[in-house]
Each structure stands twice: as structure tokens, then as C-alpha cells.
Amino acid sequence: MTRFKIAKVAELQGHDERAWNIAWNPAKPLLASCSADKTVRLYHYDHATDSPDLRFTHNTTISTGHTKTVRAVAWSPSGLSLATASFDANVGIWEQEGGDEGEGPNAGEWECSSLLEGHETECKSVAYSSSGTLLASCSRDKTVWVWEVQPDVDFECLGVLMEHTQDVKCVAWHPHEEILASASYDDTIRLYIDDPSDDWFCFATLKGHESTVWCVSWSPDGRYLASSSDDKTVRIWKRVKEHSWESVLVLTGHERSVYSISWGVGKSNDDASLGWLASASGDGQVMVWELTKPSDSDTAPMSSTPPGHSIIARLEAAHGVYDVNAVAWCPRQGYENILATAGDDCSVRVWKVIPE
């Protein structure tokens, strides 16, 4: 098995307070970060001439107008819209003036095209569905909202899901189906689908974590869901029936809350790879697991056989002595081994996972 290391590519300073989250634009070389300083920073990246390494340059800072921490950022699949979730209870939708004409220095300012109001307290996470037609948001008010993204960035609320008994920490859409997952302070994960003749509803409650579930991330093939928790573990849930998911694996190694996970396709030479799962924790570590198809994946794809797993890389003190709040793989082709993290030291760091 190849051993990998996590090597630093860039350290991006600029936020004045804790950096909470990062999001890679899926279409363009842009990385967004958000912070308790209420701003969003955008970085452009390219290859330096005669160097294989990526070079990051600060592109712009959006002073969002949010009156409190910007807790999370998410790009639409087209890469044209950026959503912000703030402790001021609102979701902002940001688009660049002049739209899709480019990202050069002459491109326009980022402006707030919609402000989605409705949550009663801190909004903690926001996510676009794979088609870009739906947006989900969640809050300490215990609700998950599903919004329809209409032409001309008009948003209509399709449903308010009140299943959780506590604070909802994270929402994530399935990579190709309209299934939504939410993670909560009530220690559970809930899965939702749309009933075509009725409303959005919760079809599964995943119990197993022993404390707050901070983050959920789907496998690239959509057959698995990973979750990370204050109980210091990462769990892998597998689809065993059309509408049924089972906990099949518990990954350990972190010593404090695991605040964030990201499951990317990775750059493995193993044909059975299900991709690379990265985790970030209050213990300062970033870990990368490779998950592989179980031997019965062709004959019994919905068996409860767990996937194979191994830690391929591990980085201590990714942000020095500080907590690592978020981790995200770059989704763009050719950049599958590039990772960004956000930390309590106010910085955003970019890493590459390369053979040792």
C-alpha cells in the first residue's frame, strides 16, 4: 500500500477572527472562506510558471453585511452563486456582477442577490443539491429548510422540517439523488426526501453517535454516508435498502471532537477505491482514510458488509495548537488530492496529499 503525506501548499492569512469554513468553487479556480469576522474571502489559484505547485492569490473580500459570524459557505454546482449561512439567522446568496463572463481582474463585484430569512436563530450550514435547483439550510432553531432555487435567483421555501429535537449543525445533499441529510446536537442524523404528492419528509433517523453530530458527507458514489461527531469518531453508514441506511464502520483516531469531514474521489491507484475521506478535529489533526469496496460489492451491493479502510495520511498540528474547524477536498478534475482547512488561528491552509 502506498504511504502518503500531507504537504502544505499555501497558508492564507487575512481573516481577523476564527475561520469557520471553506468551499471550493466546482467550476472555477476559486476558494471561498468565511469567518467570525463576518467576511467571506475569495482566493484565486493557478500554476506558477515552471513549478508544479499551486499559487494562491487573494481575489476579493466580501463584507457580507451579515451582522454576526458567517458560519458556512457553499457554492452552487454551476459555481455562479455562493451561499452564506450566518449566526444572524439569515442565508445570503451572492453573485458576481457581470455573471459568467470570467473571473479576471475586471470581473464585477460580488453582490447579495437574495437574503433568505426564516430561521429564528443561528444558521449553521447551507448546501445546494447536485442539480442546483434546491438549497437546504439549518439552524439552532432545530429546523431544516428546503428552498427551491427559481430562475432569477428567486427562492421559494418548499418545506420546513422539524424532526430534530436540538440544534441542527450540518446539511448535505446526496451526490446525484434528491436525498438530504442533516446532523444534529441531538446526536442523530436524519434523511429526507420529497413526497411528490405531498411535502418533504424524514424517512430515516440514524442513531449511533454518542454525542453531537457535527458534519455529514456523502461518498462520491452515493452508496455511503460519513458522519463525524463530538464522540471523537467518524461513522460510515451504508445504504442497505432503497430507504434504509445502517452503521457499518466506526473510524477512530481523533482525540477531540471531529468538526468536519469531506469525502472526495481521491487519487488512488486502487481500482476498488471508494475515495478519500478527510477529517478535521479539535485535536488539531487532519486525517485521511482510503475506503475501498467490500469484496461483495458486485454481488451484493446493498449488503451490510463494511467497506475496507486504512489511514493513508495523518497530519498533526495542522493549524499549530489551534482547532481545525473545516476540511474540504477540491472537487475539480486534476485537483483530487488538494485539500483546504480552516482553523481557529484565523488562517486557511491548502494541502496536497502526495505519495511519501
Partner 1 sequence: MEVFNPNPVIFAPAKATGRRSKPSKPESFWDDEEADVEVDENTVEPIDQDEIFDLIRHISDPEHPNSLEELRVVSAPQISVSENRVIVEFTPTVPHCGMSTLIGLSIRVRLMQSLPPRFKVDIFVKPGSHQSEHAVNKQLNDKERVAAALENPALVDTVEKCLEKAESWGA
CA 203 to chain centre: 22
Cα dihedral angle (347, 348, 352, 356), rounded to 10 degrees?
A: 20
Residue from 1, 299, 321, 356 touching partner 1 (CB under 8 A): that is 321
Distance in Å, CB of 139 to partner 1, minimum: 11
Kindly identify the residues of this chain, within the stretch 125-164, that bind partner 1 according to CB under 8 A. 140
Of the ranges 22-30, 64-72, 99-107, 288-296, which one interacts with partner 1 (CB under 8 A)?
Answer: 64-72
Distance in Å, CB of 87 to partner 1, minimum: 5
Of the ranges 42-50, 236-244, 316-324, 346-354, which one interacts with partner 1 (CB under 8 A)?
Answer: 316-324
User: Of 122 and 290, which has the nearer Cβ to partner 1?
Assistant: 122
Dist CA 219 CA 190 (whole Å) = 17
Residue from 95, 231, 290, 323 touching partner 1 (CB under 8 A): that is 323
User: Of 148 and 167, which has the nearer Cβ to partner 1?
Assistant: 167
User: Of 215 and 291, which has the nearer Cβ to partner 1?
Assistant: 215
User: Of 290 and 344, which has the nearer Cβ to partner 1?
Assistant: 344
Instruction: Kindly tell me the sign of the dihedral angle through the C-alpha atoms of 149, 155, 157, 162.
Output: positive
Residue from 5, 28, 68, 314 touching partner 1 (CB under 8 A): that is 68
From residue 275 to residue 304, the character string flagging contacts with partner 1 as x (rule: CB under 8 A) and all else as - is: -------x----------------------
Of the ranges 41-49, 63-71, 76-84, 333-341, which one interacts with partner 1 (CB under 8 A)?
Answer: 63-71
User: Of 81 and 260, which has the nearer Cβ to partner 1?
Assistant: 260
Kindly identify the residues of this chain, within the stretch 162-221, that bind partner 1 according to CB under 8 A. 167, 169, 185, 211-212
Q: What is the 3-state secondary structure (H, E, C) of the chain?
A: CCCEEEEEEEEECCCCCCEEEEEECCCCCEEEEEECCCEEEEEEEEECCCCCCEEEEEEEEEECCCCCCEEEEEECCCCCEEEEEECCCCEEEEEECCHHHCCCCCCCCEEEEEEECCCCCCEEEEEECCCCCEEEEEECCCCEEEEEEECCCEEEEEEEECCCCCCEEEEEECCCCCCEEEEECCCCEEEEEECCCCCEEEEEEECCCCCCEEEEEECCCCCEEEEEECCCCEEEEEEEECCEEEEEEEECCCCCCEEEEEEECCCCCCCCEEEEEEEEECCCCEEEEEEECCCCCCCCCCCCCCCEEEEEEEECCCCCCCCEEEEEECCCCCCCCEEEEEECCCCEEEEEEEEC
92 sits near partner 1 (criterion: CB under 8 A):
no
> Which cell numbers hold the place of 144?
431544516
Instruction: Please tell me the count of residues contacting partner 1 according to CB under 8 A.
Output: 24
Distance in Å, CB of 321 to partner 1, minimum: 4
Count Cβ atoms within 10 A of the Cβ of residue 309 and give its class: 0-12 exposed, 13-18 middle, 19 or more buried: middle
List the one residue out of 199, 167, 156 whose CA is nearest residue 180. Answer: 199
Distance in Å, CB of 340 to partner 1, minimum: 20
Residue from 87, 237, 245, 289 touching partner 1 (CB under 8 A): that is 87
Distance in Å, CB of 84 to partner 1, minimum: 16
Amino acid at 17: E
Distance in Å, CB of 164 to partner 1, minimum: 14
Kindly identify the residues of this chain, within the stretch 30-59, that bind partner 1 according to CB under 8 A. 36
Of the ranges 66-74, 239-247, 326-334, 346-354, which one interacts with partner 1 (CB under 8 A)?
Answer: 66-74
Residues that bind partner 1 (CB under 8 A): 18, 36, 68-69, 71, 87, 121-122, 124, 140, 167, 169, 185, 211-212, 230, 256-257, 282, 321-323, 344-345
